[in-house]
Amino acid sequence: MTTEQTDAQIANALKAVAARENVTDIFFVACGGSYAQMLPNQYIVEREAKAIIGNALNAAEFKARAPKRLGKNSIVIALSHSGTTPETVEAVKIARAAGALTISLTHDLGSPLDQASEFTVSYFFSPMTMSPTHAAAVLARLTFGILKLREGNAKAEDLDKGLAMLPTAVDELIAERQREILQFAEAHKREAIIYTMASGPNFGPAYSFAICLLQEMQWVHSAAIHAGEYFHGPFEITDFDVPFIQLIGVGPSRPIDERALTFVKKFSQRVTVLDANDLGINSLPASVSEYLAPLVFMPILRVYADKLSDAKGHPLTVRRFMWKMEY
């Protein structure tokens, strides 16, 4: 694919959004790491929409819940990298049969997901970089595009400005951080468990790092702890030797992150902090910086995982179950 193709596919899908008589709901439907990429978009809708509902659901859960509201006033946005995730393909079929407008993201045009969806957007895949045509960016463009067309939300332009700055910003950031990322990798290569912690729009990247990078690709036990939930249970497992990776966002959820950080640093000597304020987020357009933070955290976290995998001698591509058997 080319940037022009992705741009045209987004424009095409948004033309259909504009043509709908009414839009009341956006369902964001996917599994695993793709589901994690939906979470910041539910956050965007909850923060920005006057009336439209945003609801991110695991695709199997979407099918089981079969929300009664699903219908011709719904938009269903789905994501599956291979385009073959059966639950996601089935969810899109159900949604389309119910009259919803279906827009899918997949890396493989021609895949079952592409075939099942009314509209498909293909994207650029390179997990240690970020650009306006990466999946996470395409999702944000669709979300703000819908809010612009249906509710007059004025932030799509700032979003585009910010996204255009990300390729260089992320590359430079990763280059600058090499030394401390390598130190993290060496220091954590023998850990059996590493927690992640975040809130607001950054819970998605924290969840993705826990379940895809640590559990799936490194066989390290993990859980994403919501920083606002930390004090209501999880914090009791904090101890001097329990490792945490904490994301500190910008915007209104930042105080939640900061409160958790103050505590966790007091009782654990193994806290790795990624603070959006130190990652250049503040040089992005202020009206959308909180929404762009997850798009900066994602590629940087991928480099953390990449270096951890080098230090462990356990490549990110190794699996014992996935792709190896029926399940």
Residue closer to a second copy (CB basis): 51 or 175? 51
Q: Which is closer to a second copy, CB of 179 or CB of 320? A: 320
DSSP state of 124: B
Contact 124, 6 (CB under 8 A): yes
CB of 313 to a second copy, least distance (A): 17
310 membership: H or E segment, kind and range: helix 289-312
C-beta closer to a second copy: residue 4 or 240: 240
In the DSSP assignment, the letter for residue 31 is -
The DSSP result for 188-237, as a single string, is HTT-SB-EEEE-GGGHHHHHHIIIIIIIIHH--B--EEETTTGGGTGGGG
CB of 121 to a second copy, least distance (A): 21
* Residue 30 φ/ψ, nearest 5 degrees: -170, -175
Q: How far is the CB of 45 from a second copy (least distance, A)?
A: 9
Token pair belonging to 188: 């954590």
Specify whether the CB–CB gap between 88 and 78 falls below 8 A. Answer: yes
* Residue 73 backbone class (left: φ over 0; alpha: ψ -120 to 50; beta: rest): alpha
**CB 193, min distance to a second copy, A:** 6
Q: What is the DSSP letter of 27?
A: E
By C-beta, is 187 or 223 nearer to a second copy? Answer: 223
Q: Decide: helix, strand or coil at residue 197.
A: strand
Can you give the binding site for a second copy, defined by CB under 8 A? 31-35, 43, 46-51, 53, 55, 58-61, 63-69, 85, 87, 193, 199-200, 210-212, 215-217, 219-224, 226, 228-229, 231-238, 251-253, 255-256, 259, 263, 267, 319-322, 327
Considering the complex, what minimum distance in angstroms separates the CB of residue 111 from a second copy? 17
Q: Coil, strand or helix: which one is 88?
A: helix
DSSP letter at 120 equals E
Beta bridge partners of 14: none
Residue 131 or 253: the one with the smaller Cβ distance to a second copy is 253
Of the pair 131, 246, the CB lying nearest a second copy is at: 246
The least distance separating a second copy from the CB of residue 46, rounded to whole angstroms, comes to 5
